[in-house]
């Protein structure tokens, strides 16, 4: 790909046909794994992400135990075949950083004070990557926590904004991330509007950055609706089944 | 299923059911759990497959990249198989370097593929003695509910069968399918008391005294075997396993073709 590739055309249309404000297709499914206490699968465009929650359970290593509350230990992992060049399995500095900021974002909403000394373990596996994996991962992790029945103030919703060819865009794809000018991943607590994750790299003016935040907050709102919908689909089905059983019992 | 320890009462129940030829999940001793698969689900991989065997789920992805051949086989491509037990899959899995279980699993799967000659490595030469295609098969356990050997074998085989050598990406000629010669299928047995069962589930696997994995090729010839566990297997039992491995191999091959 050449450096002068056009990411946004004269009409403001991006290479995958989206407008600047348009996020990629998002698909969320809750409760996809059998072993985990809670789980979720997310597809954001070409990203494919699985998240699982185990806990609250005994905290390992023990020196991390907090006598006043549970800690959240997130592990973000990219699988070897998830990117164009094979990624060597195992943790690297990037995944350690992402794991840390996602844990911190989730600590904000989980009522950790209910489980002193415990650990809530969140595993995020990237099956296929196409820019925005940390946001897709955090979106999935929030749904998995809710699926695990862990008490929370709210679900965290996450999406990235950025800039390419001088345009501020919502939800960058891989080409826009690689050849664009800036990337702003963020996550908010939708009911309060608090930002719980924010990173930025690249080059943006104040105006551009404000616009990116505006787009991102709006995008998170849409993610939030999809998260709630996924949880409703998961649990409303169970309720229907029980009702049917109840009815047949009465007969 | 938070622990690998099976309670006494559960163990007795499984053993007593087996005495009547029954299994706790309703199968007969020779029945394999339901197999479902999806091919090509990972767009960034050169070949991929997700396999669900009962409740066990694994994903295998193939990456093919140019590299230097080994000096003793200067014109042959290289196959490398890895298996990762990620903590997402089970509460007993911890992150970190591969443990002995995942290394054994990867090596048994690798042996079936390598020894059956499934991949024609001599056709993977780019420049004789200098450059060949390196074929990495990475397998991730997604949900662990017993018998990873057969689930991982199936996923690896399906991913390889559908893999494309990405010649154009590296400027090494056209894209073409990976040269595949046969379909090696592994069948795993567990010995509980005096009973031999096929495709053990999680509980069965953890009360079994011994385990045997047998990999056959399209002709019903044996290409790889691995015995595991502290218990023993008699010659009669081995013979029964080999017969069942061939029969079951034919059935599984039909299901995935």
For residues B177-212, b (16+ Cβ closer than 10 Å) or e, as one string?
A: ebeeebbbbbbbbbbbeebbbbbbbbbbbbbbebbb
Number of structural domains (chain B) is 1
Q: Is residue B2 part of a domain?
A: no
**Host domain of residue B61:** 8-256
B88-110 pLDDT, tens digit per residue, is: 999 999 888 888 899 999 999 99
Residue A247 has pLDDT above 60, yes or no: no
Taking contacts as CB-CB distances below 8 angstroms, the residues of chain A near B43 are 46, 128
Domains parsed from chain A with CATH numbers: 26-161+186-245 (3.30.230.70)
Give pLDDT, residue A93. 85
* Main-chain phi, psi angles of B25, to 5 degrees: -95, 15
* Contacts of B189-193 spanning 24+ positions with Cβ under 8 A: B189/B213, B189/B214, B189/B241, B189/B244, B189/B245, B191/B229, B191/B231, B191/B233, B191/B237, B192/B14, B192/B15, B192/B18, B193/B15, B193/B18
Q: SS3 of A240, please?
A: helix
Which residue shows structure tokens 């070897």?
Answer: A80
Burial classification of residue A235, based on how many CB atoms lie within 10 Å of its CB (0-12 exposed, 13-18 middle, 19 or more buried) = middle
Contact A82 B42 (CB under 8 A): yes
Residue A215 has pLDDT above 50, yes or no: yes
Of A84, A91, A123, the CB nearest to B88: A123
Give pLDDT, residue B120. 96
Task: Report the residue of chain B nearest A77, measured CA to CA.
Answer: B86
Taking contacts as CB-CB distances below 8 angstroms, the residues of chain B near A83 are 44
Contact A81 B48 (CB under 8 A): yes
Taking contacts as CB-CB distances below 8 angstroms, the residues of chain A near B84 are 79-80, 89
B106-136 pLDDT, tens digit per residue, is: 999 999 999 999 999 999 999 999 999 999 9
Q: Is residue B226 part of a domain?
A: yes
**A35, A60, A85, A173: which to substitute to probe chain B, counting the most B Cβ within 10 Å?**
A35
* Cβ-contact A95, A143 below 8 angstroms: no
Give pLDDT, residue A3. 52
Of chain B, the percentage scoring pLDDT greater than 70 comes to 99
Taking contacts as CB-CB distances below 8 angstroms, the residues of chain B near A91 are 95
Of A86, A125, A127, the CB nearest to B63: A86
pTM: 0.84
- Across chain A, mean pLDDT equals 92
Taking contacts as CB-CB distances below 8 angstroms, the residues of chain A near B41 are 48, 127-128
Taking contacts as CB-CB distances below 8 angstroms, the residues of chain B near A92 are none
Q: Is residue B140 part of a domain?
A: yes
Please, which pLDDT band fits residue A244 given cuts at 50, 70 and 90?
low
Residue A242 has pLDDT above 80, yes or no: no
A56-89 pLDDT, tens digit per residue, is: 999 988 989 999 999 999 999 999 999 999 999 9
Give pLDDT, residue A2. 45
Give the whole-angstrom CA distance, residue A127 versus residue A36: 17
Of B42, B55, B82, the CB nearest to A89: B82
**A86, A120, A124, A131: which to substitute to probe chain B, counting the most B Cβ within 10 Å?**
A86
Please, which pLDDT band fits residue A241 given cuts at 50, 70 and 90?
low
The DSSP bridge partners found for residue A160 are A185
Residue A239 has pLDDT above 50, yes or no: yes
Task: Report the residue of chain A nearest B166, measured CA to CA.
Answer: A84
Q: Is residue B124 part of a domain?
A: yes
Q: Is residue B1 part of a domain?
A: no
Task: Report the residue of chain B nearest A126, measured CA to CA.
Answer: B42
Q: Is residue B172 part of a domain?
A: yes
ipTM of the complex: 0.75
Task: Report the residue of chain A nearest B62, measured CA to CA.
Answer: A81
A28-50 mean pLDDT: 98
Per-residue pLDDT of chain B (257 residues; tens, 9 = 90+): 446 789 999 999 999 999 999 999 999 999 999 999 999 999 999 999 999 999 999 999 999 999 999 999 999 999 999 999 999 999 999 888 888 899 999 999 999 999 999 999 999 999 999 999 999 999 999 999 999 999 999 999 999 999 999 999 999 999 999 999 999 999 999 999 999 999 999 999 999 999 999 999 999 999 999 999 888 899 999 999 999 999 999 999 999 98
Contact A79 B63 (CB under 8 A): no
Give pLDDT, residue A110. 97
Q: SS3 of A46, please?
A: coil
Taking contacts as CB-CB distances below 8 angstroms, the residues of chain A near B142 are 33, 50, 125
CATH number of the domain to which B111 belongs: 3.30.230.70
Q: How do the residues of chain A divide into helix, strand and coil, expressed in percent and rounded to 5?
A: 35, 30, 35
B80 touches chain A (CB under 8 A): no
CA-based max dimension of chain B: 62
Q: Is residue B211 part of a domain?
A: yes
Give pLDDT, residue A5. 82
A196-222 mean pLDDT: 94
Contact A81 B61 (CB under 8 A): yes
């Amino acid at each position: 790909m050449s450096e002068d590739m056009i990411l946004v055309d004269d009409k403001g249309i991006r290479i995958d046909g989206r407008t600047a404000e348009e996020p990629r297709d998002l698909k969320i499914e809750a409760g996809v794994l059998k072993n985990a206490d809670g789980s979720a699968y997310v597809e954001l465009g070409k990203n494919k992400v699985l998240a699982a929650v185990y806990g609250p359970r005994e905290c390992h290593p023990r020196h991390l135990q907090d006598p006043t509350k549970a800690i959240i230990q997130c592990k973000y992992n990219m699988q070897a075949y998830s990117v164009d060049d094979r990624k060597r399995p195992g943790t690297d500095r990037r995944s350690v950083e992402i794991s840390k900021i996602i844990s911190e974002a989730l600590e904000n909403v989980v009522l950790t004070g209910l489980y002193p000394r415990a650990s809530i373990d969140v595993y995020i596996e990237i099956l296929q990557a196409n820019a925005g994996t940390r946001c897709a991962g955090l979106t999935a992790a929030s749904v998995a926590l809710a699926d695990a029945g862990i008490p929370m103030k709210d679900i965290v919703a996450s999406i990235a904004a950025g800039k390419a060819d001088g345009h501020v865009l919502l939800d960058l794809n891989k080409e826009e991330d690689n050849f664009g000018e800036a990337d702003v991943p963020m996550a908010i607590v939708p009911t309060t509007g608090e930002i719980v994750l924010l990173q930025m790299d690249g080059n943006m003016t104040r105006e551009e950055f404000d616009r990116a935040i505006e787009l991102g907050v709006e995008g998170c709102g849409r993610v939030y609706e999809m998260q709630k919908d996924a949880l409703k689909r998961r649990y409303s089905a169970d309720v229907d089944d029980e009702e049917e059983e109840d009815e047949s019992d009465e007969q | 299923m938070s622990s690998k320890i099976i309670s006494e009462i559960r163990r007795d129940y499984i053993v007593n059911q087996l005495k009547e030829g029954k299994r706790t999940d309703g199968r007969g001793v020779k029945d394999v759990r339901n197999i479902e698969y999806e091919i090509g689900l990972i767009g960034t991989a050169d070949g991929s497959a997700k396999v669900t065997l009962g409740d066990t789920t694994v994903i295998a992805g193939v990456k093919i990249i140019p590299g230097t051949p080994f000096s003793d086989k200067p014109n042959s491509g290289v196959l490398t198989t890895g298996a990762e037990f990620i903590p997402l899959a089970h509460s007993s899995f911890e992150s970190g370097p591969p443990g002995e279980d995942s290394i054994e699993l990867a090596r048994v799967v690798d042996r079936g593929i390598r020894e059956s000659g499934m991949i024609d490595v001599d056709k993977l030469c780019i420049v004789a003695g200098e450059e060949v295609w390196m074929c990495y098969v990475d397998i991730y356990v997604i949900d662990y509910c017993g018998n990873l050997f057969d689930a991982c074998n199936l996923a690896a085989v399906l991913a390889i069968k559908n893999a494309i050598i990405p010649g154009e990406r590296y400027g090494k000629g056209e894209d073409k399918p990976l040269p595949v010669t046969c379909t090696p299928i592994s069948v795993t047995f567990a010995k509980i008391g005096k009973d031999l069962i096929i495709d053990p589930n999680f509980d069965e696997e953890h009360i079994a005294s011994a385990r045997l994995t047998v990999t056959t090729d399209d002709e019903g010839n044996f290409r790889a075997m691995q015995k595991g566990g502290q218990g023993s297997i008699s010659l009669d039992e081995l013979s029964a396993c080999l017969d069942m491995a061939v029969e079951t191999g034919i059935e599984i091959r039909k299901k995935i073709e």
